[in-house]
Structure 1
Amino acid sequence: MPKLPILLVIAGAVAALHVPVQADDDSRRAREGVRRGEFVPLERLLARAEREHPGEVLEVELDDGEYEIEILREDGRVVELTYDARSGRLLELEVDDDDDDD
Protein backbone atom coordinates (compact mmCIF):
# COMPACT_ATOMS: atom_id res chain seq x y z
CA MET A 1 0.00 0.00 0.00
CA PRO A 2 1.46 3.43 -0.93
CA LYS A 3 2.51 5.67 1.93
CA LEU A 4 1.40 8.93 0.31
CA PRO A 5 -2.41 8.54 0.70
CA ILE A 6 -2.01 7.59 4.36
CA LEU A 7 0.28 10.57 4.92
CA LEU A 8 -2.26 12.87 3.28
CA VAL A 9 -5.06 11.59 5.51
CA ILE A 10 -2.95 11.95 8.65
CA ALA A 11 -1.66 15.39 7.65
CA GLY A 12 -5.21 16.53 6.87
CA ALA A 13 -6.52 15.29 10.19
CA VAL A 14 -3.70 16.95 12.13
CA ALA A 15 -4.15 20.19 10.22
CA ALA A 16 -7.88 20.15 10.82
CA LEU A 17 -7.38 19.71 14.55
CA HIS A 18 -4.46 22.06 15.06
CA VAL A 19 -4.44 24.95 12.63
CA PRO A 20 -7.73 26.88 13.01
CA VAL A 21 -7.37 28.08 16.61
CA GLN A 22 -3.66 28.63 16.42
CA ALA A 23 -3.90 30.19 12.96
CA ASP A 24 -6.13 32.97 14.29
CA ASP A 25 -3.73 33.82 17.11
CA ASP A 26 -0.62 33.43 14.94
CA SER A 27 -2.18 35.53 12.17
CA ARG A 28 -3.04 38.30 14.58
CA ARG A 29 0.44 38.32 16.13
CA ALA A 30 2.10 38.21 12.70
CA ARG A 31 -0.02 41.10 11.37
CA GLU A 32 0.73 43.16 14.48
CA GLY A 33 4.45 42.41 14.20
CA VAL A 34 4.50 43.40 10.52
CA ARG A 35 2.52 46.57 11.27
CA ARG A 36 5.04 47.55 13.95
CA GLY A 37 7.92 46.80 11.58
CA GLU A 38 9.20 43.95 13.77
CA PHE A 39 8.45 41.03 11.41
CA VAL A 40 8.79 40.48 7.69
CA PRO A 41 5.50 39.67 5.97
CA LEU A 42 4.68 35.98 6.12
CA GLU A 43 3.44 36.08 2.52
CA ARG A 44 6.99 36.79 1.31
CA LEU A 45 8.38 33.77 3.15
CA LEU A 46 5.50 31.53 2.08
CA ALA A 47 6.07 32.44 -1.57
CA ARG A 48 9.78 31.66 -1.21
CA ALA A 49 9.12 28.36 0.61
CA GLU A 50 6.56 27.23 -1.99
CA ARG A 51 8.86 28.20 -4.87
CA GLU A 52 11.75 26.21 -3.40
CA HIS A 53 9.58 23.28 -2.18
CA PRO A 54 6.52 22.90 -4.44
CA GLY A 55 3.66 21.12 -2.75
CA GLU A 56 0.87 21.69 -0.25
CA VAL A 57 1.34 23.92 2.78
CA LEU A 58 0.18 21.87 5.75
CA GLU A 59 0.87 24.21 8.63
CA VAL A 60 2.18 27.67 9.42
CA GLU A 61 3.02 28.79 12.93
CA LEU A 62 4.54 31.82 14.59
CA ASP A 63 6.46 30.63 17.64
CA ASP A 64 8.95 32.67 19.68
CA GLY A 65 9.73 35.05 16.83
CA GLU A 66 10.08 32.27 14.27
CA TYR A 67 7.80 31.34 11.39
CA GLU A 68 7.53 27.58 10.97
CA ILE A 69 6.21 26.41 7.60
CA GLU A 70 5.45 22.76 6.95
CA ILE A 71 4.99 21.61 3.34
CA LEU A 72 4.03 18.25 1.87
CA ARG A 73 6.26 18.27 -1.19
CA GLU A 74 5.29 16.83 -4.55
CA ASP A 75 7.69 13.93 -3.91
CA GLY A 76 5.65 12.93 -0.84
CA ARG A 77 8.16 14.08 1.75
CA VAL A 78 7.33 16.67 4.39
CA VAL A 79 9.67 19.60 4.78
CA GLU A 80 9.67 21.97 7.75
CA LEU A 81 11.27 25.35 7.28
CA THR A 82 12.00 27.68 10.17
CA TYR A 83 12.55 31.37 9.43
CA ASP A 84 13.52 34.23 11.71
CA ALA A 85 10.37 36.38 11.70
CA ARG A 86 12.42 39.57 12.14
CA SER A 87 14.95 39.12 9.34
CA GLY A 88 13.34 36.45 7.14
CA ARG A 89 16.54 34.41 7.31
CA LEU A 90 16.16 30.63 6.99
CA LEU A 91 17.24 29.14 10.31
CA GLU A 92 16.52 25.46 9.80
CA LEU A 93 15.32 23.05 7.14
CA GLU A 94 14.17 19.57 8.09
CA VAL A 95 13.07 16.99 5.55
CA ASP A 96 11.13 13.96 6.76
CA ASP A 97 13.01 11.21 4.99
CA ASP A 98 10.86 8.25 6.04
CA ASP A 99 13.02 5.44 4.63
CA ASP A 100 12.71 3.18 7.69
CA ASP A 101 10.84 0.51 5.69
CA ASP A 102 13.65 -0.15 3.17
Structure 2
Amino acid sequence: MADEAYDHDRARAALERGEVMPLRAILDRVERDYPGKVVEVELEREHERWIYEIKVLQSGGALRKLEVDGRDGTVLGVKGRDRKREGSEGGKR
Protein backbone atom coordinates (compact mmCIF):
# COMPACT_ATOMS: atom_id res chain seq x y z
CA MET A 1 0.00 0.00 0.00
CA ALA A 2 2.84 2.41 0.76
CA ASP A 3 4.17 2.11 -2.80
CA GLU A 4 0.72 2.87 -4.24
CA ALA A 5 0.37 5.97 -2.05
CA TYR A 6 3.83 7.13 -3.09
CA ASP A 7 3.02 6.57 -6.78
CA HIS A 8 -0.22 8.50 -6.39
CA ASP A 9 1.61 11.39 -4.72
CA ARG A 10 4.24 11.46 -7.50
CA ALA A 11 1.53 11.50 -10.17
CA ARG A 12 -0.39 14.29 -8.41
CA ALA A 13 2.77 16.38 -8.05
CA ALA A 14 3.61 15.89 -11.75
CA LEU A 15 0.10 17.04 -12.69
CA GLU A 16 0.34 20.10 -10.41
CA ARG A 17 3.68 21.03 -11.99
CA GLY A 18 2.14 20.74 -15.47
CA GLU A 19 4.39 17.84 -16.43
CA VAL A 20 1.46 15.55 -17.35
CA MET A 21 -2.03 15.91 -18.72
CA PRO A 22 -4.92 14.91 -16.46
CA LEU A 23 -5.78 11.22 -16.68
CA ARG A 24 -9.32 12.00 -17.84
CA ALA A 25 -7.98 13.90 -20.88
CA ILE A 26 -5.65 11.01 -21.71
CA LEU A 27 -8.46 8.46 -21.37
CA ASP A 28 -10.80 10.54 -23.57
CA ARG A 29 -8.24 10.33 -26.37
CA VAL A 30 -7.55 6.64 -25.85
CA GLU A 31 -11.25 5.71 -25.70
CA ARG A 32 -11.90 7.60 -28.93
CA ASP A 33 -9.17 5.80 -30.89
CA TYR A 34 -9.15 2.44 -29.06
CA PRO A 35 -12.71 1.70 -27.94
CA GLY A 36 -13.11 -0.86 -25.19
CA LYS A 37 -12.81 -1.16 -21.44
CA VAL A 38 -9.77 0.35 -19.74
CA VAL A 39 -8.64 -2.34 -17.32
CA GLU A 40 -5.37 -0.90 -16.00
CA VAL A 41 -3.52 2.42 -15.93
CA GLU A 42 -0.01 3.15 -14.70
CA LEU A 43 2.01 6.35 -14.83
CA GLU A 44 5.74 5.79 -14.92
CA ARG A 45 8.81 7.91 -15.32
CA GLU A 46 11.01 6.59 -18.13
CA HIS A 47 14.11 8.39 -19.42
CA GLU A 48 13.07 11.77 -18.01
CA ARG A 49 9.59 11.38 -19.54
CA TRP A 50 6.20 10.55 -17.99
CA ILE A 51 4.49 7.63 -19.73
CA TYR A 52 0.95 6.43 -19.16
CA GLU A 53 0.72 2.66 -19.70
CA ILE A 54 -2.91 1.81 -20.42
CA LYS A 55 -4.42 -1.63 -21.00
CA VAL A 56 -7.65 -1.73 -22.99
CA LEU A 57 -9.82 -4.81 -23.44
CA GLN A 58 -11.56 -4.46 -26.79
CA SER A 59 -14.61 -6.26 -28.10
CA GLY A 60 -13.78 -9.70 -29.40
CA GLY A 61 -11.20 -10.22 -26.65
CA ALA A 62 -8.31 -8.17 -28.01
CA LEU A 63 -6.12 -6.79 -25.22
CA ARG A 64 -4.06 -3.74 -26.15
CA LYS A 65 -1.30 -2.11 -24.12
CA LEU A 66 -0.75 1.49 -25.08
CA GLU A 67 2.13 3.72 -24.12
CA VAL A 68 1.05 7.36 -24.11
CA ASP A 69 3.21 10.44 -23.61
CA GLY A 70 2.00 12.01 -20.38
CA ARG A 71 2.82 15.54 -21.47
CA ASP A 72 0.87 15.74 -24.73
CA GLY A 73 -1.20 12.54 -25.02
CA THR A 74 0.59 11.17 -28.08
CA VAL A 75 0.31 7.39 -28.43
CA LEU A 76 3.92 6.22 -28.56
CA GLY A 77 3.26 2.54 -29.07
CA VAL A 78 0.62 -0.17 -29.10
CA LYS A 79 1.16 -3.79 -28.21
CA GLY A 80 -1.38 -6.51 -27.96
CA ARG A 81 -2.92 -9.62 -29.22
CA ASP A 82 -6.25 -10.79 -30.45
CA ARG A 83 -7.06 -13.88 -28.41
CA LYS A 84 -9.96 -14.86 -30.65
CA ARG A 85 -7.77 -14.78 -33.76
CA GLU A 86 -4.93 -16.68 -32.05
CA GLY A 87 -7.27 -19.46 -31.00
CA SER A 88 -8.77 -19.89 -34.46
CA GLU A 89 -5.36 -19.90 -36.15
CA GLY A 90 -4.10 -22.57 -33.78
CA GLY A 91 -6.95 -24.89 -34.75
CA LYS A 92 -6.35 -24.53 -38.50
CA ARG A 93 -2.74 -25.68 -38.49
User: The TM-score by the shorter chain falls in which range?
Assistant: 0.7 to 0.9
Corresponding residue to 1:35 among 1, 5, 16: 16
Partner SS for 2:61: coil
TM-score (norm 1): 0.67
Higher strand content, 1 or 2? 2
Q: Which runs of 5+ in 2 are unaligned?
A: none
* 20-29 vs 50-59, which moves further: 20-29
RMSD: 2.2
TM-score (norm 2): 0.73
* 33-42 vs 21-30, which moves further: 21-30
> Which is greater in Rg?
2
Indicate the residue corresponding to 1:67 in structure 2: 52
After TM superposition, the runs of 4+ consecutive aligned structure 1 residues lying more than 6 A away are none
Kindly, what percent of the aligned residue pairs are identical?
A: 37
Matches within 5 A, 1:17-28: 24-28=5-9
**How many aligned positions are there?**
83
Q: Does 1:44 align with 2:25?
A: yes
Q: 2: CA distance between counterparts of 1:24 and 1:75? A: 35
Corresponding residue to 1:76 among 61, 66, 76: 61
Amino acid at match of 1:57: V
